[in-house]
Chain A
Amino acid sequence: MEKVVKIPDWLKRTEVGVCPCCAAGRGRGFIEKNIEAMASFLKEVLEPESFSNKRGLLQAIDPRARLFGALLFIVSAALLKGVLSITGLLFMVAAMSLASRINVIILFRRTLPVLAFTLFLVLPTMFNFITPGAVIVKIFSFNYFDLYISKQGLENISVFLLRVAAMASILSLFILTTGYPDIFRALRSFPIPRFFITALSMTFRYIMVLIKVAEDSHMARKARTIKSLTVKEGRGWLASQIWLIMQRSMEIAEGVSLAMAARGFTGEVKTMSSFKMRGRDYIWMGFAIFVLLLSAQA
Protein backbone atom coordinates (compact mmCIF):
# COMPACT_ATOMS: atom_id res chain seq x y z
CA MET A 1 0.00 0.00 0.00
CA GLU A 2 1.32 3.48 -0.94
CA LYS A 3 2.19 5.78 1.92
CA VAL A 4 -0.26 8.65 2.30
CA VAL A 5 2.09 11.10 4.07
CA LYS A 6 5.15 12.16 2.11
CA ILE A 7 7.71 14.03 4.16
CA PRO A 8 9.38 16.89 2.23
CA ASP A 9 13.18 16.93 2.30
CA TRP A 10 13.49 20.15 4.24
CA LEU A 11 11.50 18.58 7.07
CA LYS A 12 14.02 15.76 7.32
CA ARG A 13 16.87 18.19 8.13
CA THR A 14 17.71 18.37 11.83
CA GLU A 15 20.25 20.68 13.42
CA VAL A 16 20.58 19.70 17.05
CA GLY A 17 22.61 22.06 19.20
CA VAL A 18 22.64 25.06 21.49
CA CYS A 19 21.17 28.28 20.15
CA PRO A 20 24.10 30.39 18.90
CA CYS A 21 22.41 33.71 19.49
CA CYS A 22 22.20 33.35 23.30
CA ALA A 23 19.17 35.61 23.22
CA ALA A 24 17.78 36.10 26.68
CA GLY A 25 14.19 36.38 25.53
CA ARG A 26 12.14 39.46 24.91
CA GLY A 27 9.96 41.31 27.37
CA ARG A 28 6.19 41.15 27.14
CA GLY A 29 4.62 43.34 24.50
CA PHE A 30 1.93 45.97 24.80
CA ILE A 31 -0.89 43.63 23.64
CA GLU A 32 0.19 40.81 25.95
CA LYS A 33 0.44 43.10 28.96
CA ASN A 34 -2.98 44.55 28.23
CA ILE A 35 -4.70 41.21 27.69
CA GLU A 36 -3.18 39.86 30.89
CA ALA A 37 -4.05 42.98 32.86
CA MET A 38 -7.62 42.99 31.55
CA ALA A 39 -8.10 39.30 32.27
CA SER A 40 -6.67 39.53 35.76
CA PHE A 41 -8.72 42.68 36.56
CA LEU A 42 -11.94 41.03 35.37
CA LYS A 43 -11.16 37.83 37.28
CA GLU A 44 -10.44 39.81 40.43
CA VAL A 45 -13.61 41.85 40.10
CA LEU A 46 -15.81 38.95 39.06
CA GLU A 47 -14.52 36.21 41.35
CA PRO A 48 -14.60 37.32 44.96
CA GLU A 49 -15.49 33.84 46.19
CA SER A 50 -12.66 33.49 48.66
CA PHE A 51 -14.20 36.17 50.92
CA SER A 52 -17.78 35.00 50.60
CA ASN A 53 -16.83 31.65 52.13
CA LYS A 54 -15.26 33.18 55.27
CA ARG A 55 -17.13 33.17 58.56
CA GLY A 56 -17.90 36.79 59.30
CA LEU A 57 -20.65 39.25 60.15
CA LEU A 58 -22.06 39.85 56.67
CA GLN A 59 -21.47 36.31 55.45
CA ALA A 60 -23.75 35.08 58.24
CA ILE A 61 -26.65 37.19 56.97
CA ASP A 62 -29.05 35.96 54.30
CA PRO A 63 -27.96 37.37 50.89
CA ARG A 64 -31.40 38.94 50.38
CA ALA A 65 -31.15 40.84 53.69
CA ARG A 66 -27.55 41.71 52.80
CA LEU A 67 -28.65 43.15 49.45
CA PHE A 68 -31.53 45.02 51.09
CA GLY A 69 -29.10 46.48 53.65
CA ALA A 70 -26.56 47.45 50.99
CA LEU A 71 -29.22 49.29 48.97
CA LEU A 72 -30.41 51.24 52.03
CA PHE A 73 -26.84 52.14 53.02
CA ILE A 74 -26.23 53.44 49.50
CA VAL A 75 -29.38 55.59 49.70
CA SER A 76 -28.19 56.78 53.14
CA ALA A 77 -24.88 57.86 51.61
CA ALA A 78 -26.80 59.81 48.99
CA LEU A 79 -28.90 61.54 51.65
CA LEU A 80 -26.00 62.60 53.92
CA LYS A 81 -24.71 66.12 53.27
CA GLY A 82 -21.87 66.86 55.67
CA VAL A 83 -18.25 65.69 55.47
CA LEU A 84 -18.38 64.44 59.04
CA SER A 85 -21.55 62.38 58.67
CA ILE A 86 -20.34 60.72 55.44
CA THR A 87 -16.98 60.02 57.08
CA GLY A 88 -18.95 58.40 59.92
CA LEU A 89 -20.70 56.17 57.39
CA LEU A 90 -17.33 55.28 55.86
CA PHE A 91 -16.07 54.25 59.31
CA MET A 92 -19.17 52.11 59.74
CA VAL A 93 -18.43 50.37 56.41
CA ALA A 94 -14.81 49.83 57.51
CA ALA A 95 -16.03 48.29 60.78
CA MET A 96 -18.42 46.00 58.87
CA SER A 97 -15.55 45.01 56.62
CA LEU A 98 -13.33 44.08 59.55
CA ALA A 99 -16.18 42.17 61.20
CA SER A 100 -16.58 40.28 57.92
CA ARG A 101 -12.87 39.38 57.97
CA ILE A 102 -11.99 41.53 54.99
CA ASN A 103 -8.95 43.75 55.21
CA VAL A 104 -9.99 47.40 54.88
CA ILE A 105 -7.10 48.00 52.46
CA ILE A 106 -8.51 45.37 50.07
CA LEU A 107 -11.91 47.05 50.24
CA PHE A 108 -10.61 50.55 49.55
CA ARG A 109 -8.27 49.33 46.83
CA ARG A 110 -11.36 48.15 44.96
CA THR A 111 -12.97 51.57 45.31
CA LEU A 112 -9.88 53.51 44.19
CA PRO A 113 -10.48 53.20 40.40
CA VAL A 114 -14.01 54.55 40.90
CA LEU A 115 -12.67 57.44 42.99
CA ALA A 116 -9.94 58.25 40.47
CA PHE A 117 -12.46 58.31 37.62
CA THR A 118 -14.88 60.47 39.65
CA LEU A 119 -12.10 62.89 40.59
CA PHE A 120 -11.18 63.22 36.92
CA LEU A 121 -14.78 64.12 36.09
CA VAL A 122 -15.43 66.60 38.91
CA LEU A 123 -11.99 68.21 39.12
CA PRO A 124 -12.98 71.38 37.16
CA THR A 125 -15.76 72.15 39.66
CA MET A 126 -13.25 73.15 42.35
CA PHE A 127 -12.17 76.16 40.25
CA ASN A 128 -13.87 79.53 40.58
CA PHE A 129 -15.11 79.63 36.96
CA ILE A 130 -17.56 76.81 37.85
CA THR A 131 -17.98 77.22 41.60
CA PRO A 132 -17.29 80.82 42.68
CA GLY A 133 -16.35 81.44 46.33
CA ALA A 134 -13.56 82.33 48.72
CA VAL A 135 -10.02 81.98 47.40
CA ILE A 136 -7.97 79.07 48.75
CA VAL A 137 -5.15 78.74 46.20
CA LYS A 138 -4.64 81.27 43.42
CA ILE A 139 -3.40 79.70 40.18
CA PHE A 140 -2.92 82.80 37.98
CA SER A 141 -4.27 86.25 37.13
CA PHE A 142 -4.66 87.68 33.65
CA ASN A 143 -6.22 91.13 33.15
CA TYR A 144 -9.62 90.87 34.82
CA PHE A 145 -9.61 87.07 34.98
CA ASP A 146 -8.46 85.20 38.08
CA LEU A 147 -8.17 81.43 38.23
CA TYR A 148 -8.23 79.97 41.71
CA ILE A 149 -9.50 77.02 43.74
CA SER A 150 -12.56 78.14 45.65
CA LYS A 151 -13.47 77.06 49.18
CA GLN A 152 -16.99 76.11 48.11
CA GLY A 153 -15.67 74.18 45.11
CA LEU A 154 -13.27 72.22 47.30
CA GLU A 155 -16.03 71.49 49.82
CA ASN A 156 -18.36 70.28 47.07
CA ILE A 157 -15.69 67.99 45.66
CA SER A 158 -14.81 66.61 49.09
CA VAL A 159 -18.44 65.78 49.89
CA PHE A 160 -18.98 64.28 46.46
CA LEU A 161 -15.84 62.16 46.59
CA LEU A 162 -16.59 60.96 50.12
CA ARG A 163 -20.12 60.06 49.05
CA VAL A 164 -18.84 58.11 46.02
CA ALA A 165 -16.24 56.41 48.25
CA ALA A 166 -18.95 55.38 50.72
CA MET A 167 -21.27 54.08 47.98
CA ALA A 168 -18.52 52.21 46.14
CA SER A 169 -17.17 50.64 49.33
CA ILE A 170 -20.67 49.54 50.42
CA LEU A 171 -21.20 47.92 47.03
CA SER A 172 -17.73 46.35 47.02
CA LEU A 173 -18.27 44.98 50.51
CA PHE A 174 -21.57 43.45 49.45
CA ILE A 175 -20.00 41.83 46.36
CA LEU A 176 -16.95 40.61 48.28
CA THR A 177 -19.04 38.96 50.99
CA THR A 178 -21.72 37.55 48.73
CA GLY A 179 -20.30 35.99 45.57
CA TYR A 180 -22.08 36.26 42.23
CA PRO A 181 -24.33 33.17 42.34
CA ASP A 182 -25.90 34.41 45.58
CA ILE A 183 -26.17 37.97 44.27
CA PHE A 184 -28.25 36.75 41.34
CA ARG A 185 -30.38 34.57 43.61
CA ALA A 186 -30.89 37.51 45.98
CA LEU A 187 -31.85 39.79 43.09
CA ARG A 188 -34.64 37.37 42.18
CA SER A 189 -36.36 38.22 45.48
CA PHE A 190 -36.68 41.86 44.38
CA PRO A 191 -39.26 43.16 41.90
CA ILE A 192 -36.84 43.03 38.98
CA PRO A 193 -37.87 41.19 35.77
CA ARG A 194 -36.43 37.66 36.01
CA PHE A 195 -35.42 37.65 32.40
CA PHE A 196 -33.17 40.63 33.10
CA ILE A 197 -31.49 38.83 36.02
CA THR A 198 -31.04 35.67 33.95
CA ALA A 199 -29.49 37.68 31.11
CA LEU A 200 -27.18 39.37 33.62
CA SER A 201 -26.08 36.10 35.21
CA MET A 202 -25.45 34.56 31.79
CA THR A 203 -23.41 37.59 30.74
CA PHE A 204 -21.27 37.10 33.83
CA ARG A 205 -20.96 33.38 33.10
CA TYR A 206 -19.86 33.81 29.48
CA ILE A 207 -17.50 36.73 30.09
CA MET A 208 -15.29 34.14 31.79
CA VAL A 209 -15.53 31.79 28.79
CA LEU A 210 -14.65 34.61 26.41
CA ILE A 211 -11.73 35.77 28.58
CA LYS A 212 -10.41 32.20 28.32
CA VAL A 213 -10.82 32.30 24.51
CA ALA A 214 -8.87 35.60 24.36
CA GLU A 215 -6.12 34.29 26.63
CA ASP A 216 -5.83 30.98 24.76
CA SER A 217 -5.70 32.54 21.31
CA HIS A 218 -3.05 34.98 22.50
CA MET A 219 -1.04 32.08 23.94
CA ALA A 220 -1.40 30.17 20.67
CA ARG A 221 -0.06 33.14 18.74
CA LYS A 222 2.75 33.73 21.21
CA ALA A 223 3.80 30.08 20.96
CA ARG A 224 4.36 30.51 17.23
CA THR A 225 5.82 34.02 17.20
CA ILE A 226 9.55 34.49 16.82
CA LYS A 227 10.00 38.14 15.93
CA SER A 228 7.91 40.91 17.42
CA LEU A 229 4.99 42.27 15.43
CA THR A 230 5.05 45.70 13.82
CA VAL A 231 2.43 48.18 14.98
CA LYS A 232 0.43 47.55 11.80
CA GLU A 233 0.61 43.76 12.25
CA GLY A 234 -0.34 44.18 15.91
CA ARG A 235 -3.39 46.23 15.00
CA GLY A 236 -4.41 43.66 12.39
CA TRP A 237 -4.02 40.83 14.87
CA LEU A 238 -6.03 42.69 17.52
CA ALA A 239 -8.82 43.34 15.02
CA SER A 240 -8.89 39.66 14.05
CA GLN A 241 -9.09 38.71 17.74
CA ILE A 242 -12.02 41.04 18.30
CA TRP A 243 -13.75 39.42 15.35
CA LEU A 244 -12.91 35.91 16.67
CA ILE A 245 -14.37 36.68 20.09
CA MET A 246 -17.43 38.27 18.52
CA GLN A 247 -17.95 35.18 16.36
CA ARG A 248 -17.40 32.84 19.32
CA SER A 249 -19.91 34.80 21.40
CA MET A 250 -22.47 34.51 18.59
CA GLU A 251 -21.90 30.74 18.40
CA ILE A 252 -22.23 30.43 22.16
CA ALA A 253 -25.40 32.54 22.15
CA GLU A 254 -26.96 30.27 19.52
CA GLY A 255 -25.90 27.11 21.36
CA VAL A 256 -27.15 28.39 24.72
CA SER A 257 -30.48 29.31 23.23
CA LEU A 258 -30.87 25.77 21.84
CA ALA A 259 -29.74 24.24 25.15
CA MET A 260 -32.38 26.29 26.97
CA ALA A 261 -35.10 25.32 24.50
CA ALA A 262 -34.09 21.65 24.82
CA ARG A 263 -34.91 21.79 28.52
CA GLY A 264 -38.31 23.36 28.11
CA PHE A 265 -37.50 27.08 28.30
CA THR A 266 -40.25 29.04 26.59
CA GLY A 267 -39.34 32.62 27.49
CA GLU A 268 -40.48 32.71 31.09
CA VAL A 269 -37.68 32.09 33.58
CA LYS A 270 -38.62 29.79 36.46
CA THR A 271 -36.23 29.64 39.37
CA MET A 272 -36.09 28.34 42.90
CA SER A 273 -34.73 30.04 46.01
CA SER A 274 -32.80 28.02 48.56
CA PHE A 275 -32.52 30.83 51.13
CA LYS A 276 -34.13 30.96 54.57
CA MET A 277 -34.61 34.19 56.53
CA ARG A 278 -33.76 34.04 60.24
CA GLY A 279 -34.05 36.43 63.19
CA ARG A 280 -30.62 38.00 62.65
CA ASP A 281 -31.51 38.78 59.03
CA TYR A 282 -34.53 40.81 60.16
CA ILE A 283 -32.37 42.57 62.77
CA TRP A 284 -29.92 43.49 60.04
CA MET A 285 -32.67 44.88 57.83
CA GLY A 286 -34.01 46.85 60.83
CA PHE A 287 -30.52 48.30 61.40
CA ALA A 288 -30.30 49.35 57.74
CA ILE A 289 -33.70 51.10 58.00
CA PHE A 290 -32.51 52.85 61.19
CA VAL A 291 -29.36 54.13 59.43
CA LEU A 292 -31.49 55.36 56.53
CA LEU A 293 -33.86 57.26 58.83
CA LEU A 294 -30.91 58.75 60.70
CA SER A 295 -29.36 59.89 57.41
CA ALA A 296 -32.63 61.47 56.30
CA GLN A 297 -32.68 63.50 59.55
CA ALA A 298 -29.03 64.57 59.30
Chain B
Amino acid sequence: MTVFNIEKVSYHYADKHLGLKDINMRVEIGESLAILGANGSGKSTLLKIMAGLAFPVQGSVMAFGKLVTQDSLIGEFAGFFRGKVGFVFQEPDVQIFCPTVWDEIAFGPLQLDIPKDEVKQRIEDVLDMLGIRPLKDRQPHHLSGGEKKKVAIAAVLSINPDVLLLDEPTGGLDPRTQVWFFELIDELRKIKKTIVMATHDLSIVEDLADRVVVLSEEHTIVSDGRPVEVLRDKDMLLKVNIIHEHTHRHGDITHIHSHGPFARHDEHEGGDK
Protein backbone atom coordinates (compact mmCIF):
# COMPACT_ATOMS: atom_id res chain seq x y z
CA MET B 1 0.00 0.00 0.00
CA THR B 2 1.22 3.50 -0.82
CA VAL B 3 1.35 5.83 2.17
CA PHE B 4 2.49 8.97 0.35
CA ASN B 5 2.15 9.73 -3.32
CA ILE B 6 3.91 12.98 -4.16
CA GLU B 7 3.42 14.27 -7.69
CA LYS B 8 5.16 17.20 -9.36
CA VAL B 9 5.50 19.08 -6.09
CA SER B 10 7.20 22.46 -6.05
CA TYR B 11 7.50 24.78 -3.09
CA HIS B 12 8.51 28.39 -2.57
CA TYR B 13 9.24 30.00 0.77
CA ALA B 14 7.53 33.22 1.81
CA ASP B 15 10.44 35.25 0.40
CA LYS B 16 9.94 33.47 -2.99
CA HIS B 17 13.09 31.39 -2.55
CA LEU B 18 12.75 28.01 -4.23
CA GLY B 19 12.44 25.19 -1.69
CA LEU B 20 11.56 22.19 -3.85
CA LYS B 21 11.21 21.70 -7.59
CA ASP B 22 9.18 19.08 -9.42
CA ILE B 23 9.37 16.34 -6.79
CA ASN B 24 7.86 12.96 -7.66
CA MET B 25 8.06 10.08 -5.21
CA ARG B 26 6.06 7.39 -3.48
CA VAL B 27 6.50 5.98 0.00
CA GLU B 28 5.22 2.47 0.59
CA ILE B 29 3.95 1.17 3.91
CA GLY B 30 6.64 -0.39 6.12
CA GLU B 31 9.37 1.20 4.06
CA SER B 32 12.38 2.89 5.63
CA LEU B 33 13.36 5.81 3.46
CA ALA B 34 16.26 8.22 3.84
CA ILE B 35 16.12 11.62 2.17
CA LEU B 36 19.70 12.71 1.58
CA GLY B 37 20.80 16.18 0.69
CA ALA B 38 23.17 19.00 1.55
CA ASN B 39 22.14 21.82 3.87
CA GLY B 40 19.39 23.89 2.25
CA SER B 41 18.49 21.29 -0.37
CA GLY B 42 14.88 21.07 0.87
CA LYS B 43 14.90 17.87 2.96
CA SER B 44 13.13 19.42 5.94
CA THR B 45 10.65 21.17 3.69
CA LEU B 46 9.82 17.89 1.97
CA LEU B 47 9.23 16.28 5.37
CA LYS B 48 7.02 19.18 6.44
CA ILE B 49 5.00 18.81 3.25
CA MET B 50 4.60 15.09 3.96
CA ALA B 51 3.52 15.96 7.51
CA GLY B 52 0.89 18.41 6.27
CA LEU B 53 2.67 21.31 7.94
CA ALA B 54 3.60 23.06 4.70
CA PHE B 55 1.70 22.95 1.42
CA PRO B 56 3.13 22.91 -2.12
CA VAL B 57 2.56 25.78 -4.53
CA GLN B 58 2.37 23.24 -7.36
CA GLY B 59 1.63 19.53 -7.55
CA SER B 60 -0.19 17.27 -5.13
CA VAL B 61 0.43 15.13 -2.06
CA MET B 62 -1.78 12.10 -1.43
CA ALA B 63 -1.59 10.42 1.97
CA PHE B 64 -3.49 7.20 2.74
CA GLY B 65 -5.37 7.69 -0.52
CA LYS B 66 -6.57 11.21 0.27
CA LEU B 67 -5.36 14.56 -0.98
CA VAL B 68 -3.49 16.50 1.71
CA THR B 69 -4.37 20.18 1.58
CA GLN B 70 -4.96 22.94 4.10
CA ASP B 71 -8.70 22.36 3.73
CA SER B 72 -8.58 18.57 4.01
CA LEU B 73 -6.61 18.88 7.26
CA ILE B 74 -9.59 20.41 9.00
CA GLY B 75 -12.14 18.04 10.44
CA GLU B 76 -12.28 14.26 10.41
CA PHE B 77 -9.28 13.59 8.17
CA ALA B 78 -7.08 15.82 10.35
CA GLY B 79 -7.50 13.54 13.39
CA PHE B 80 -6.90 10.44 11.28
CA PHE B 81 -3.84 11.94 9.59
CA ARG B 82 -2.26 13.32 12.79
CA GLY B 83 -2.72 9.96 14.46
CA LYS B 84 -1.05 8.16 11.57
CA VAL B 85 1.87 10.50 10.90
CA GLY B 86 4.35 11.49 13.62
CA PHE B 87 6.94 14.19 13.06
CA VAL B 88 10.15 14.48 15.10
CA PHE B 89 11.57 17.97 14.60
CA GLN B 90 15.25 18.68 14.08
CA GLU B 91 15.27 21.14 16.97
CA PRO B 92 13.94 19.43 20.13
CA ASP B 93 13.51 22.78 21.90
CA VAL B 94 10.77 23.62 19.45
CA GLN B 95 8.97 20.35 19.94
CA ILE B 96 9.16 20.09 23.72
CA PHE B 97 6.93 22.90 24.88
CA CYS B 98 5.11 21.38 27.89
CA PRO B 99 6.14 22.09 31.51
CA THR B 100 7.36 18.52 32.19
CA VAL B 101 8.43 15.44 30.24
CA TRP B 102 5.32 13.60 31.43
CA ASP B 103 3.02 16.34 30.08
CA GLU B 104 4.97 16.36 26.84
CA ILE B 105 4.42 12.65 26.20
CA ALA B 106 0.75 13.01 27.14
CA PHE B 107 0.14 15.96 24.83
CA GLY B 108 -0.23 14.15 21.48
CA PRO B 109 -2.54 11.29 22.57
CA LEU B 110 -4.75 13.73 24.50
CA GLN B 111 -5.21 15.97 21.46
CA LEU B 112 -6.32 12.88 19.52
CA ASP B 113 -8.98 12.09 22.16
CA ILE B 114 -7.42 8.80 23.22
CA PRO B 115 -9.05 7.70 26.54
CA LYS B 116 -7.14 9.00 29.56
CA ASP B 117 -6.44 5.55 31.03
CA GLU B 118 -4.87 4.46 27.77
CA VAL B 119 -2.86 7.69 27.58
CA LYS B 120 -1.46 6.97 31.07
CA GLN B 121 -0.55 3.43 30.03
CA ARG B 122 1.15 4.66 26.86
CA ILE B 123 3.17 7.23 28.82
CA GLU B 124 4.38 4.57 31.24
CA ASP B 125 5.28 2.19 28.40
CA VAL B 126 7.11 4.81 26.35
CA LEU B 127 9.04 6.02 29.42
CA ASP B 128 10.28 2.47 29.98
CA MET B 129 10.85 1.70 26.31
CA LEU B 130 13.13 4.70 25.83
CA GLY B 131 14.70 4.48 29.30
CA ILE B 132 13.64 8.00 30.29
CA ARG B 133 11.58 7.25 33.40
CA PRO B 134 13.97 9.25 35.63
CA LEU B 135 13.23 12.30 33.49
CA LYS B 136 9.44 12.16 33.75
CA ASP B 137 9.01 15.06 36.21
CA ARG B 138 11.89 17.11 34.86
CA GLN B 139 11.43 20.41 33.09
CA PRO B 140 12.63 20.44 29.47
CA HIS B 141 15.20 23.21 29.89
CA HIS B 142 17.03 21.07 32.44
CA LEU B 143 17.60 18.24 29.94
CA SER B 144 20.71 17.61 27.86
CA GLY B 145 20.57 17.59 24.06
CA GLY B 146 20.39 13.78 23.86
CA GLU B 147 17.70 13.62 26.55
CA LYS B 148 15.63 16.24 24.73
CA LYS B 149 15.87 14.21 21.54
CA LYS B 150 14.69 11.08 23.37
CA VAL B 151 11.77 13.00 24.88
CA ALA B 152 10.86 14.39 21.44
CA ILE B 153 10.82 10.85 20.03
CA ALA B 154 8.82 9.57 23.04
CA ALA B 155 6.28 12.36 22.58
CA VAL B 156 5.68 11.20 19.01
CA LEU B 157 5.76 7.44 19.71
CA SER B 158 3.03 7.83 22.36
CA ILE B 159 0.68 8.71 19.50
CA ASN B 160 1.57 5.33 17.94
CA PRO B 161 1.87 6.67 14.40
CA ASP B 162 2.20 4.31 11.45
CA VAL B 163 4.57 6.74 9.79
CA LEU B 164 7.51 8.42 11.51
CA LEU B 165 9.04 11.46 9.88
CA LEU B 166 12.44 12.22 11.42
CA ASP B 167 14.27 15.45 10.63
CA GLU B 168 18.06 15.07 11.10
CA PRO B 169 17.52 12.43 13.79
CA THR B 170 21.17 11.94 14.72
CA GLY B 171 22.10 15.63 14.73
CA GLY B 172 23.86 16.58 17.96
CA LEU B 173 23.73 13.10 19.48
CA ASP B 174 26.75 11.63 21.25
CA PRO B 175 28.02 8.21 20.01
CA ARG B 176 26.18 6.19 22.69
CA THR B 177 22.86 7.93 22.00
CA GLN B 178 23.42 7.40 18.27
CA VAL B 179 23.80 3.65 18.85
CA TRP B 180 20.63 3.76 20.98
CA PHE B 181 18.86 5.52 18.12
CA PHE B 182 20.04 2.93 15.56
CA GLU B 183 18.66 0.15 17.75
CA LEU B 184 15.36 1.97 18.22
CA ILE B 185 14.88 2.49 14.48
CA ASP B 186 15.78 -1.15 13.88
CA GLU B 187 13.07 -2.24 16.32
CA LEU B 188 10.54 0.11 14.72
CA ARG B 189 11.38 -1.31 11.29
CA LYS B 190 10.76 -4.82 12.60
CA ILE B 191 7.22 -3.82 13.62
CA LYS B 192 6.65 -2.45 10.11
CA LYS B 193 6.53 1.24 10.94
CA THR B 194 7.09 3.44 7.92
CA ILE B 195 10.13 5.61 8.56
CA VAL B 196 11.21 8.65 6.57
CA MET B 197 14.43 10.34 7.69
CA ALA B 198 15.87 13.56 6.36
CA THR B 199 19.61 13.53 6.87
CA HIS B 200 23.00 14.37 5.48
CA ASP B 201 24.60 11.75 7.70
CA LEU B 202 25.63 8.97 5.32
CA SER B 203 26.60 6.65 8.15
CA ILE B 204 22.97 6.02 9.06
CA VAL B 205 21.71 5.43 5.55
CA GLU B 206 23.10 2.00 4.78
CA ASP B 207 22.18 0.65 8.23
CA LEU B 208 18.72 2.11 8.60
CA ALA B 209 17.21 2.67 5.17
CA ASP B 210 15.71 0.36 2.54
CA ARG B 211 15.69 3.16 0.02
CA VAL B 212 17.40 6.50 -0.50
CA VAL B 213 16.19 9.63 -2.26
CA VAL B 214 18.86 12.24 -2.98
CA LEU B 215 18.02 15.92 -3.28
CA SER B 216 20.34 18.25 -5.16
CA GLU B 217 21.22 21.78 -4.21
CA GLU B 218 18.86 22.79 -7.04
CA HIS B 219 16.06 21.22 -4.92
CA THR B 220 15.24 18.37 -7.31
CA ILE B 221 15.48 14.60 -6.89
CA VAL B 222 18.65 13.37 -8.55
CA SER B 223 18.63 9.77 -7.41
CA ASP B 224 16.16 7.29 -5.97
CA GLY B 225 17.10 3.70 -5.23
CA ARG B 226 18.57 1.13 -2.86
CA PRO B 227 21.30 2.47 -0.53
CA VAL B 228 24.02 0.24 -2.02
CA GLU B 229 23.32 1.49 -5.52
CA VAL B 230 22.91 5.16 -4.64
CA LEU B 231 25.93 5.31 -2.37
CA ARG B 232 28.05 3.74 -5.11
CA ASP B 233 27.53 6.77 -7.37
CA LYS B 234 30.42 8.86 -6.12
CA ASP B 235 30.22 11.51 -8.85
CA MET B 236 26.58 12.18 -8.06
CA LEU B 237 27.24 12.41 -4.30
CA LEU B 238 30.13 14.80 -4.92
CA LYS B 239 27.98 16.91 -7.22
CA VAL B 240 25.15 17.27 -4.69
CA ASN B 241 27.67 18.14 -1.97
CA ILE B 242 26.98 15.18 0.29
CA ILE B 243 30.54 13.93 0.21
CA HIS B 244 33.72 15.82 -0.36
CA GLU B 245 37.31 15.00 -0.99
CA HIS B 246 40.09 16.01 1.31
CA THR B 247 43.75 15.59 1.95
CA HIS B 248 44.55 12.86 4.43
CA ARG B 249 47.81 12.06 6.12
CA HIS B 250 49.32 8.90 7.60
CA GLY B 251 52.71 9.69 9.04
CA ASP B 252 54.76 10.87 6.07
CA ILE B 253 52.24 9.74 3.47
CA THR B 254 49.72 12.30 2.23
CA HIS B 255 46.92 11.40 -0.15
CA ILE B 256 43.52 12.65 -1.20
CA HIS B 257 40.36 10.69 -0.62
CA SER B 258 36.68 11.31 -0.14
CA HIS B 259 34.60 11.51 2.98
CA GLY B 260 31.57 9.28 3.26
CA PRO B 261 31.09 5.77 1.91
CA PHE B 262 34.24 6.11 -0.16
CA ALA B 263 36.45 6.82 2.81
CA ARG B 264 38.68 3.84 2.12
CA HIS B 265 42.39 4.16 2.26
CA ASP B 266 42.89 2.07 -0.86
CA GLU B 267 41.01 4.71 -2.82
CA HIS B 268 44.00 6.90 -3.50
CA GLU B 269 43.69 9.40 -6.27
CA GLY B 270 47.17 10.71 -6.10
CA GLY B 271 48.95 12.99 -3.68
CA ASP B 272 52.43 13.12 -2.32
CA LYS B 273 54.08 9.98 -1.15
User: Which residues of A are in contact with B by a Cβ distance under 8 Å?
Assistant: 1, 3, 49, 180-181, 184-185, 201-202, 204-206, 208-209, 212, 252, 255-256, 258-266, 270-272, 274
Contacts and interface: CB of A to CB of B under 8 A. Distances in A.
Contact of A264 (B83, B102, B271): B83
Nearest to B80: A264
A260 B270 CA distance: 53
A264 B97 contact: no
B82 interface: yes
Contacts of A252: 93-94
A256 B99 contact: no
B256 A181 contact: no
Interface stretch (B3-11, B24-32, B135-143, B216-224): B135-143
Given A201-B99, A205-B141, A263 B94 contact: no
B82 A272 contact: no
Nearest to A201: B99
A224 B245 CA distance: 31
Dominant SS among interface residues on chain A:
helix
Interface of B: 48, 51, 53, 78-79, 82-83, 85-87, 89, 91, 93-95, 97-100, 102-103, 106-108, 110-113, 116, 119-120, 137, 139-141, 155-156, 159, 245, 247, 256, 269-271
B79 A272 contact: no
Contacts of B247: 3
Given A3-B247, A205-B140, A209-B141, A264 B93 contact: no
B135 to A, nearest CB: 13
Contacts of B79: 264
Contact of B139 (A181, A258, A260, A272): A181
B78 A181 contact: no
Residue of B89, B99, B116, B271 with most chain A CB atoms under a 10 A cut-off: B99
B94 A259 contact: yes
A258 B48 contact: yes
A261 B91 contact: no
Contact of B82 (A205, A255, A263): A263
Contacts of A260: 97
Interface centre among B91, B97, B112, B113 (most CB of A within 10 A): B97
Nearest to A205: B97
In order of increasing CB-CB distance, the 6 nearest A-B pairs are A255-B94, A264-B82, A264-B111, A263-B108, A181-B99, A208-B141
Contact of A272 (B110, B155, B270): B110
Given A1-B245, A263-B108, A270-B111, A181 B89 contact: no
Contact of A255 (B83, B89, B137, B159): B89
B93 A184 contact: no
Contacts of A264: 78-79, 82-83, 108, 111-112, 159
Given A208-B141, A264-B83, 8 more contacts: A1-B270, A205-B98, A205-B99, A206-B97, A256-B95, A262-B87, A263-B112, A271-B103
18 contacts: A1-B245, A181-B137, A204-B99, A205-B98, A205-B140, A259-B89, A259-B94, A259-B95, A259-B97, A260-B97, A262-B51, A263-B82, A263-B112, A263-B156, A263-B159, A264-B83, A271-B103, A272-B110
Contact of B110 (A205, A261, A271, A274): A271
Given A205-B141, A270-B113, A263 B155 contact: yes
Contacts of A202: 97
B53 A262 contact: yes
A115 to B, nearest CB: 29
B238 to A, nearest CB: 12
A267 to B, nearest CB: 10
A274 B98 CA distance: 15
Nearest to B102: A274
Contacts of A3: 247
Contacts of A270: 110-111, 113
Contacts of B78: 264, 266
A252 to B, nearest CB: 6
